[in-house]
Structure 1
Amino acid sequence: MTTTTGTTTSTIPPVPGAGPSGVPEERRLQKLGELFDVRGLGVVVTGGGSGLGLRMGTALAEAGAHVTLLDVVGDRLDEARTDLAEQGLQVDVAVADITDFDQLDALFDRLEHSEHGLHVVFANAGISAGIGPRLRTGRITDLDRERWQQVLDVNLTGAVNTMSAAARHLNTGYGRIVVTSSVGGIRADPMVGYAYASTKAGVVGLVRNAALELAHRGITVNAVAPGLFETNIRKANPAAEAMTADFVKVSALKRSAQLPELEGLAVYVASPASSYVTGAVLNIDGGGQHVGPNDVEL
């Protein structure tokens, strides 16, 4: 089956035996609609101008949510909004720096009091730490301390800023915070930079503590941990593309993921179907967390 969404066309394995089940079609659709109904929910996605964030925001908009895409780069947002409008999808966009808590807090306050409210926040924005210890320049003996601090500021402080502002303004009774971690924060990976691995492990601790704190308000807090996804930004990075074969080795499925394969998880964690899931790390890595980095030589 070939799926086209936005600018990405990819082949997803078909469902074996898909066809009539004997259940009346109206009942089937009603059940799916009840489980995964995100219609009218106010959703924010940081890092929403490209890559995983844009794909998650697109899937939720297609499912009927009222989506606001946040990014620090305005041109990305303008391009994304134009592209989605051509597909018949309307989203709002806002330029925001997640390292600036006051800016985020003011934006979330406005969204809370808007027509659609604020129900779901994806703390997705992040930056790369560069090469990991597989290459000499990425080893701990040659740590780039300036880059280390930049990555911590965005990936860890930016994530906690987003979570904090979300907790102040999310709807009580139905609230979702979803933080993007990484398989590189779950297990050792010599191809992932120290700062990236540290921050993606760190956000898991934030998620678990916040899940306990916010449970009484009916707000769930979870992390998603992607493996290797093919994005346009990644394809444009020669260094990253050069290591694709090695990344594939540490996937149980022995392939990278296509962006449409993220859509179901994005809708699930925002929907009523995930109402009893909180403090969890939801891996979407082709089984990479079970394979480990043993096949990649240092």
Structure 2
Amino acid sequence: MKAAELFDLSDRVVVVTGAASGLGLAISEVVAANGARVVMLDIDEAALGKAAATIARAGAPADVFVADVGEPGKVKAIIDACVGKYGRLDCVFANAGASGGPGYGKPEGAAEAASMELWESCLRVNLDGAFLTIRAAAKHMKAQRQGSIVVTSSVAALRASALPSYAYHAAKAGIAQVVRVAALELGPHNVRVNGIAPGPFKTNIGNGRMHTAEGAAMFAATVPLGRLAELDEIKGLALLLASPASSYMTGAIIPIDGGTQA
């Protein structure tokens, strides 16, 4: 079998949350480039419009929806509408994420000083939002007896660090375990559920500190490859998990981290 066939997403419907920038935009680009009809969700309406225009210029028009993934019923209504329009749902990337503030490496991130407001907002997006997305997708994928759900967790789910916050560690570790449970439940229905655990990528999370010289150096120092990842470096793994190439993979949390787990 040739690679073009193995990774072909022609006529498949793929939903991506947090699609306006960062990893979500990169994921949207690669699935669209390989034939998928991409449905892009994000809370940032202006950025979402620009992102969709980028994909359209490459010859792959996208459907766009402004959505807060942590709002109960919102993602479900959008996914239901997409299935009503296209008659199928092949892959969902539960990617939307939010920072929980600094870790204990900074005074304001220490346990006694950590913001409970940030705790609640971080868990609402990263944990609740991802679970609500999984739940909305599972209903349709079980009925059609096929599908792939991919959740963005983090290396913070796999190891502790002074850099991400308590809330971020908790949310990303929690959703990694949800991935495993969902894989057990949905496996008999031929629905696969996997997680991506990125290391430090050049995204806007954490108020853009990855784009500052200080922030980039701080995170790069934790990576054996000695650098932050470029956004395009998520594309190979995302395409693998969306495509027939990963047909026997489920329940996995896959690091893409420059070697930090080593």
State the TM-score, normalized to the length of structure 1.
0.83
How big is each residue's C-alpha offset from its partner over 1:68-94, in whole Å with a ceiling of 9 and x where there is no partner? Answer: 000012111111112222333311111
Counterpart check, 1:258 vs 2:226: no
The reply on whether 1:182 has 2:154 as its aligned counterpart is yes
Contact persistence 1:41–1:116 (CA under 8 A): no
Question: Is the Cα contact below 8 Å between 1:234 and 1:240 reproduced in 2?
Answer: no
Counterpart check, 1:192 vs 2:186: no
Query: Shift in Å at residue 101 of structure 1?
Result: 2.6
Q: Residues 258, 238 of structure 1: CA spacing in aligned structure 2 closer, same or farther, 3 A cutoff?
A: closer
**CA-to-partner distance for each residue in 1:155-176, whole Å, 9 max, x for gaps?**
1111110110110122633200
Contact 2:202 2:210 in 1 (8 A): no
Specify whether residues 116 and 264 from structure 1 end up closer, same or farther in structure 2 by C-alpha distance, changes over 3 A only: farther
Is contact 1:172-1:219 (8 Å) kept? Answer: no
> Separation in 1 of the partners of 2:164 and 2:128?
19
Q: Partner residue of 1:55?
A: 26
Contact 1:46 1:69 in 2 (8 A): yes
SS in 2 for 1:114: helix
In structure 2, distance between residues paired with 1:266 and 1:208: 18
For residue 229 of structure 1, what is the amino acid of its counterpart? F
The count of residues paired between Structure 1 and Structure 2 equals 260
* CA shift in 2, pair 1:273/1:158, >3 Å: same
In structure 2, which of residues 51, 64, 69 is the aligned counterpart of residue 98 of structure 1?
Answer: 69
Distance 1:88 1:133, change over 3 A: same
- Amino acid of the residue matched to residue 88 of structure 2? G
**Given residue 101 of structure 1, which amino acid in structure 2 is its aligned partner?**
P
Gapped runs of 5+ residues in structure 2? Answer: none
Is the aligned partner of 1:278 residue 2:250? yes
Greater alpha carbon shift after TM alignment, 88-97 vs 60-69: 88-97
Give the Cα–Cα distance (whole angstroms) in 2 for the partners of residues 266 and 53 of structure 1. 10
- Alpha-carbon displacement from aligned partner over 1:204-225 (angstroms, at most 9, x marks no partner): 1100000000011110000000
Query: Which of 160, 175, 184 is 1:203 aligned to?
Result: 175
Aligned-residue offset at 1:263: 0.8
Deviates more, 1:74-83 or 1:155-164: 74-83
Structure 1 stretches of 4+ with a deviation exceeding 6 A read none
* Structure 1 pair 214–34 and aligned structure 2 pair: CA distance change class (3 A): same
1:245 alignment partner, SS class: helix
Return the TM-score normalized by structure 2.
0.94
Q: Secondary structure at the match of 1:287?
A: coil
| 3-state SS, counterpart of residue 9 of structure 2 | coil
- On the 8 A contact 1:46/1:53 being kept in 2, the answer is yes
Of all paired residues, the percent bearing the same amino acid is: 43
For residue 240 of structure 2, what is the aligned residue in structure 1? 268
Say if 2:261 is the partner of 1:289. Answer: yes
Counterpart amino acid of 1:66? R
Tell which structure's C-alpha radius of gyration is larger. Answer: 1
- C-alpha contact 2:149 2:193 (8 A) present in aligned 1: yes
**Match for residue 139 of structure 1?**
110
**Amino acid of the structure 1 residue aligned with 2:251:** G
- Name the SS of the counterpart of 2:85 in structure 1: coil
Per-residue deviation at 1:235?
A: 9.8
